[in-house]
Structure 1
Amino acid sequence: MVTREQRNRLDPDLGVLAGRLLFAVQRELFATLAARGFDDLHPRHGAVLAYLDAGGVRATELSRLSGQHKQVIGTMIDELEGLGYVERRPDPADRRAKLISPTERGLSQMRAADQIMADLQERHADRVGHEAFAQFKAVLADVTEHQRSHPRPDAS
């Protein structure tokens, strides 16, 4: 019988591969951000930072885009606001709603993160070939979106 350790080493399933990729990307991204002066950020903040837009985004939209519960996003927004990366502003389209908008520090972080991610992707594209990397991303995006839109309930 094959153990989980053997299976994960020899033929990891989609969840294991996705987790390995996510954690490796997060480690590099947040270590590089820390080296550039953003050492107060943690990977958990990515649920907001990855989807933050310069013009602002509603918390409900951040929750939908990231797949995280509203309460989790609210906690991350509170933390990022306390750290000076975001602020809550009235939504011009609906004064009752709030937009989560980056501060100047938040915009600087966004530019740094965009450059780090571009460099990381370019490194992989150079390694495996630009066409193969583009195909990989397209297939990964398709599988991801299919999984997100077709969750299977536990059959047991």
Structure 2
Amino acid sequence: MITQDSDLGILAARLLFSLQREVFARLAERGHGEVSPRHGAILAYLDAGGVRATELARLSGRHKQIVGRLVDELEALGYVERRPDPADRRAKLVVPTERGLDQQRHADEIIADIERRHAGTIGEPAYAQLRRALMAITDEAAAGPDQQHDSGPAPG
């Protein structure tokens, strides 16, 4: 149960799980019932021009082996294909197929709809401020502990 004392991790997880449930339920209604939240780790970072699996691993925070398995699943489902990277023929790019691009368009529409609904709940200015705050927090967290700024005096 969420309370006033719920920590940021609990609140963030609840928001993520709620978003995932709605996005993937609505994608299923639009003909993309084969994909699931675990595939979102790849689908969210695909680019029409293709992305290397190592970059997908970095962006998603997943291990390369997990990314490889998810790409295999998405390839079998017809959402992506592997192509040689023109910049380095030894490397492969993960490229969305037409089905993958269709899924991305639908997911973008669904997420925009959810964001409009949330903005309507708390008001546009508050929602814009929330987004800026979340971006700042996640940027700081992504920088890692060595890059984060200490907000207080050193212990001593």
Q: TM-score normalized by structure 2? A: 0.89
Unaligned stretches of 5+ in structure 1? none
Q: Which residue number corresponds to residue 77 of structure 1?
A: 71
Among 8, 12, 18, the residue aligned to 1:24: 18
Structure 2: 5+ residue runs without aligned partners?
147-156
Deviates more, 1:140-149 or 1:93-102: 140-149
Q: Residue 38 in 1 paired to residue 32 in 2?
A: yes
Q: Deviations over 1:51-105 (max 9, x none)?
A: 0111111111111111111111111100000000000001111111111000010
Shift in Å at residue 111 of structure 1?
A: 0.4
What one-letter code is carried by the residue in structure 1 that aligns with 2:127?
F
CA distances 1:27-54 after superposition (whole Å, capped 9, x unpaired): 0000000011101111000000000111
What secondary structure, in the 3-state scheme, does the structure 2 residue paired with 1:132 have? helix
Letter in 2 for 1:114: D
Q: TM-score, normalised by structure 1?
A: 0.89
User: Is structure 2 residue 115 aligned with structure 1 residue 121?
Assistant: yes
Report the Cα distance in structure 2 between the residues aligned to 1:142 and 1:66, rounded to whole angstroms: 18
Shift of 1:9: 2.5
Amino acid in the other structure paired with 2:139: E
What is the root-mean-square deviation in Å for CA atoms of aligned residues?
Answer: 1.3
Q: Which amino acid in structure 1 is aligned with residue 91 of structure 2?
A: A
Question: Equivalent pairs: percent with the same residue?
Answer: 62
* CA distance in structure 2 between the aligned counterparts of 1:46 and 1:104, rounded to whole angstroms: 17
Aligned partners of 1:9, 1:125: CA distance in 2, in Å? 22
Give the Cα–Cα distance (whole angstroms) in 2 for the partners of residues 111 and 26 of structure 1.
16
1: CA distance, partners of 2:117 / 2:49: 30
The yes-or-no answer on 1:131 pairing with 2:117 is: no
Give the paired residue count.
Answer: 146
2:51 aligns with 57
**Aligned-partner Cα distance in 2 for 1:31–1:151:** 36
Instruction: Report the Cα offset of residue 126 of structure 1.
Output: 1.8
1:101 to 95, 101, 104: 95
The aligned counterpart of 2:60 is 66
Q: Distance in 2 between matches of 1:151 and 1:64?
A: 17
Q: What displacement does 1:10 show?
A: 3.1
Structure-2 separation of matches of 1:77 and 1:21: 26
- Residue 11 of structure 1 deviates from its aligned partner by 1.1
